Amino acid sequence: MRSLKYAILGLLCRHPMTGYEIAKEFNYELAEFWYANHSQIYPELKKLNEEGLVSYDIEISGEILEAKRYTITEEGYKEFDKWLNKDEKMQKTPKDIFRLRMYFSGNLDMEARIHLLENQRQQHVKRLNTLKKRFEQYSEVPPRNSDRFGDFVVLRGAIMRQQNIIAWIDECIGFSKEDY
Amino acid sequence: MRSLKYAILGLLCRHPMTGYEIAKEFNYELAEFWYANHSQIYPELKKLNEEGLVSYDIEISGEILEAKRYTITEEGYKEFDKWLNKDEKMQKTPKDIFRLRMYFSGNLDMEARIHLLENQRQQHVKRLNTLKKRFEQYSEVPPRNSDRFGDFVVLRGAIMRQQNIIAWIDECIGFSKEDY
DNA sequence: TTGAGCATGTAAGTCGTTACATGATTTC
DNA sequence: GAAATCATGTAACGACTTACATGCTCAA
């Protein structure tokens, strides 16, 4: 499916970037729904360049240190736009190790089960608070044709997702504590 | 991490199964949070057998057709139990192509964006209805030390997750339609 | 001068998908 | 007799992770 290809092209639509900057982006804002390590990004950029979808200029910092600043080409933009407009089948529900564990939780006693749930809950609450903090920067919905609109809706989605997981965990804790 | 290993061991804790049956399970109930194809399962079972975590007996249907029915060993159960009790770090948020698309939706005009959202919404509603139907079999919460308890909580989690995604999509549609 | 961050790359290995490959049994 | 389902396996490829490998720049 070459998803990484489109993730990179999409970022380059905004403005030219180096591989290093793309990697940072993939480990901060985008990390809510996409990520990649530099070891995947550099080869992909090389490939995109060979395919004529991006080009680059070399920038020098100090005396020697080189950085390749990549720009999307006309052809690259066309391909990205085609992808962006394409209807897609809903993706398979993602694998979730914690849910797998809960699926098998009949093998656990009450204390162990609740311990696992509380531990997971705590981590998700922490995550949620980070997201909420980041959300504070938006005093209103950004213009819908701006880049910030995209940032805004996925951040909102990430918050809702976290809240939902916490609600589920709370239900699970409740079910585990009740006596039947 | 060998997650597939533990998914298989967990299933075999319930009762002995053939590779074919495991594959079916991974494409029906478990599909809400785990899945694997037979091409991954057969080699894994072979490996687990070599490691002494499972054993098998050969069953014959008709005249010739052989099936290997796998049973978890004492050692296999011990390893599974150790894994099940282990606290785990919250997993990275899963990759989500539709969210990636929405992140870049500033490049789309209103009609195109809403079209994508409506299309996705429809698929998620359909999925939700299937899940709700499956949920009807539970008139009450199953005993918490039974296998059905695990089935129940993950199904409940899948329903909540679907509802949440739909709520997010609806918000996105709302934001896209408003005028600023 | 030392450490954090900038910057790029490759290699080995694991995980997962799709396709290839074969054949038996049951049900209509 | 045909089709669906049972049953098992391998091969090739692509996606992703972890580790290896190197060297520069800037600020404290």
User: What are the tens digits of pLDDT across the range A98-118?
Assistant: 999 999 999 999 999 999 999
Contact partners, residue A97, CB within 8 Å, separation at least 6: B1, B3, B88, B91
CA B109 to C1' D5, in angstroms, rounded, equals 48
Among A31, A61, A85, residue at a domain's last position: A85
In Å, how far is B113's CA from the nearest CA of chain A? 8
**What residues pair up with A57 in beta bridges, in sequence order?**
A69
Count up the domains in chain B and report the number: 2
Which strands, in side-by-side order, build the sheet including A17-18? A17-18, A65-72, A54-61
Clarify whether residues B170 and B105 are in a common domain: yes
Cβ atoms of A7 and A150 within 8 Å: the answer is no
DSSP reduced 3-state for B146: coil
Residue A25 with chain B: CB contacts under 8 Å: none
The band of A165, judged by pLDDT with boundaries at 50, 70 and 90, is very high
Clarify whether residues A23 and A59 are in a common domain: yes
Residue A124 with chain B: CB contacts under 8 Å: 90
pLDDT for res A180:
53
Clarify whether residues B21 and B81 are in a common domain: yes
Clarify whether residues A73 and A22 are in a common domain: yes
The band of A13, judged by pLDDT with boundaries at 50, 70 and 90, is very high
Phi, psi of A57 (to 5 degrees): -120, 150
**Residue B49 belongs to a domain:** yes
Reading chain B (180 residues) residue by residue, the pLDDT tens digits are: 999 999 999 999 999 999 999 999 998 889 999 999 999 999 999 999 999 999 999 999 999 999 999 999 999 999 999 999 999 999 999 999 999 999 999 999 999 999 999 999 999 999 999 999 999 999 999 999 999 999 999 999 999 999 999 999 999 999 999 865
Touching check for A124 and chain B: CB below 8 Å?
Answer: yes
**Residue B119 belongs to a domain:** yes
Cβ atoms of B49 and B56 within 8 Å: the answer is yes
Instruction: Work out the percent of chain A whose per-residue pLDDT is above 70.
Output: 99
Query: Nearest CB to B153: which of A96, A120, A172?
Result: A172
Clarify whether residues A162 and A104 are in a common domain: yes
Q: What is the pLDDT of residues A48-100, one digit of tens each?
A: 999 999 999 999 999 999 999 999 999 999 999 999 999 999 999 999 999 99
Q: How far apart are CA B67 and CA B61, in angstroms?
A: 8
Give me the domain span that covers residue B39: 3-85
pLDDT for res A94:
95
Q: Judge whether residue A65 contacts strand D, using its CB and a 7 Å cut-off.
A: yes
Q: Judge whether residue A89 contacts strand C, using its CB and a 7 Å cut-off.
A: no
**Residue A90 belongs to a domain:** no
pLDDT for res B178:
80
**Residue A91 belongs to a domain:** no
Cβ–Cβ gap B146/A91 under 8 Å: no
Cβ–Cβ gap A156/B168 under 8 Å: yes
The closest alpha carbon to B84, from A97, A109, A119, A101, belongs to A101
The closest alpha carbon to A91, from B161, B166, B123, B92, belongs to B123
Nucleotides of D under 7 A from a protein CB: 6-12, 14-20, 23-26
Among B85, B105, B121, residue at a domain's last position: B85
**Residue B46 belongs to a domain:** yes
Clarify whether residues A81 and A112 are in a common domain: no
In Å, how far is A53's CA from the nearest CA of chain B? 18
Angle between helices B3-14 and B19-26 (to 10 degrees): 110
Cβ–Cβ gap B94/A95 under 8 Å: yes
- Using CA atoms of A141, B100, B122, A145 in order, give the dihedral in degrees to the nearest 10: 40
Q: How far apart are CA A178 and CA A115, in angstroms?
A: 15
What CATH code is carried by the domain that includes residue A62? 1.10.10.10
Q: Judge whether residue B49 contacts strand D, using its CB and a 7 Å cut-off.
A: no
Cβ–Cβ gap B13/A104 under 8 Å: yes
- Token look-up 């998620």 returns B124
Cβ atoms of A47 and B114 within 8 Å: the answer is no
Cβ-based contacts under 8 A for chains A and B = 221
Touching check for A146 and chain B: CB below 8 Å?
Answer: yes
In this complex, which residue's CA is closest to the C1' atom of nucleotide D26?
A: A62
**Residue A92 belongs to a domain:** no
Token pair belonging to A180: 């039947």
Token pair belonging to A52: 């004529």
**Binding-face residues of B in 45-104 toward A, CB within 8 A:** 80-81, 84-85, 87-104
Clarify whether residues B124 and B61 are in a common domain: no
Q: What is the pLDDT of residues A147-163, one digit of tens each?
A: 999 999 999 999 999 99
Q: How far apart are CA A37 and CA A65, in angstroms?
A: 21
